Amino acid sequence: MTMRTIPFAAAALAVVAWSRPAFPGEAPPPPSLQDAIAALLARDGCPAERTGICVIADDGAVQAEVSADTPLAPASNLKLLTTAAALHSLGEEYVFQTTLTATAAPRDGIIAGDLIIRGGGDPNISGRFYDGPEAVLRAWAKAMHAAGIRTIAGDLVADDTFFDDVRFCPAWDRGQEARWYAAQVSALSLNDNCVDITVTPGAAGQPARVSVSPESPAVSVRGAPVTDAKSRTKIIIARRPDTNEIRISGTIGKGAGPWKDCVAIDDPALFFAHTFAAVLRREGIRIEGAVRRAVRGAADALPPGAQLLIRHDSPLARALPVVNKNSQNLHAELLLRTMGAVKFGEGSAAAGARAIRACLDTLLVPCEGLVIDDGSGLSAGNRVSARTIGRLLHAARGREWFPHYLGSLSLAGVDGTLKSQRRFRATPQLSGSVHAKTGSIARVSALSGYVRNGERLWAFSLLFNEPLRRKGASMEALQEAILREIHAAMGPGEGAAGEASAAAR
């Protein structure tokens, strides 16, 4: 046996070791795609025990699988479960509601009581869909002013009791709590529960100008970078734990353009209410009482004579692409808790996880080994198998909400986290043909979704929980090569099997 035949033999053995039927009695997958994927994995030194792959054709037949039943960390691929369950349990027409209720009907321009802002988990009150992060709040204030209201004699009350009071997932890293992707969760959320920081250089040797949006009395900024005529921009920004005190230091080059970042805030409901209070004051509406949080257990007990002033509606369908195309963690967490509140009367992550499992059960999706710590996939403790994701993707095709689901995914080379044309430069046939969700946390890379070839639409899930062992191997390039093989297996045309086999030999 010559040296060049050894890797090829290893690849062939890998096919045997990693392949097994999807269900008892099911026929083994066809060998061609299975062999091609195994060769690619062997080429790049991909550890089989920490890899999960499942490819399912239109008719439900498994076309390829590698350790498909091994529970692995999915990173943001968990959002595929969260969004499917949200569509299934809430319905594609579901609407988030935020209400403003006066505990006493306005009379002579005065609310002789409190004004209660009750949150319903709306993730979309931000500048993403409106003209700035305060646009919705300004519209409310203007409507109240137009109705003749000038004074709130009582308190401005933030009612976030639609969810429980666990704002930061216990499985998340506390060291990341000021990062946008770890924003706290609340039934009252504003601007993704972040403030946007902009630093603009001033005169050489002088402090730079720092602006914060939205402007809120709940947030304070300490320090400023120094404008330096020579040095590069190096800005350090941090939020003091359990406060909304943001500290900024470092330097910014005199000729530099505006430097921008965002900081996740503490206590989103009070941040929302304090920001709205400032908007009301600018609109000429005075608050004589305090800004405070609703008391749990008493939040639903409105007195006789209470009057609904404003109801703000926001469709679920608008939030889905933000979750799956942009991979926005907060939106996924809000969906998770909303499912729990609506389906089980408990706005918690645990209740939301029950809603996901109920969805999988209804769709007859196997979920052995499933662990759901959160709705976004940020926790390293989440576990799901490639078969669970693949079977869910396939089952979703038969549901009335599938167009919303498919449309929420990134389209290769077009939008979302798969927009980069560079990623699919070597495989132009995949651009516009792959609808998928990316996922990445430490030591985890995932990609799951659909490959389209003509009228065919196959589901796939690729979960990798260890780096590749071959020096210089790229996880994105491996994923792209596997997708090219899937695309080729769906119809006429050559894939990368020849390339992979040549590399293995």
Tokens of 381: 């403790």
User: Of 75, 46, 69, nearest to 385 (Cα)?
Assistant: 69
Sign of CA dihedral 144, 147, 151, 156: negative
Q: Kindly give, in sequence order, each residue whose CB lies less than 8 Å from that of residue 327, ignoring residues fewer than 6 positions away.
A: 76, 79, 416, 417, 437, 438, 439
Structure tokens at 177: 């709590």
User: What gap in Å lies between CA 7 and CA 475, rounded to an integer?
Assistant: 20
Which of these is catalytic: 67, 76, 216, 379?
Answer: 76
- Residue 420: which region, alpha, beta or left (left: phi > 0; alpha: psi -120 to 50)? beta
The span from the first CA to the last CA of the chain, in angstroms, equals 12
Q: Which residue bears the tokens 């406060």?
A: 243
SS3 of 215-263: the string is CCCCCEEECCCEEECCCCCEEEEEECCCCCEEEEEEEEECCCCCEEEEE
124-to-132, 267, 321 alpha-carbon distances in Å: 12, 18, 12
Alpha helices in 283-414 (DSSP H): 316-324, 329-344, 349-362, 386-396, 402-407
Amino acid found at 89: S
Which position among 126, 189, 327, 410 bears the catalytic label? 327
User: Which residue in the list 19, 79, 186, 410 is annotated as catalytic?
Assistant: 79
Q: Is 254 one of the annotated active-site residues of the chain?
A: no
Element (H, E) at 54: strand 51-56
DSSP 436-473: EEEEEETTEEEEEEEEEETTEEEEEEEEE-S--SSTT-
Residue 199 main-chain phi, psi, to 5 deg: -115, 125
Q: For residue 408, which of 338, 348, 356, 332 has the smallest C-alpha distance?
A: 332
Is the CB of residue 86 less than 8 Å from the CB of residue 487?
no
| 3-state SS class at 483 | helix
Cα(503)–Cα(505) distance, rounded to whole angstroms?
Answer: 5
Residue 268, SS3 per DSSP: helix
216 is catalytic: no
Residue 79 is a catalytic residue = yes
Q: Which residues belong to the active site?
A: 76, 79, 327
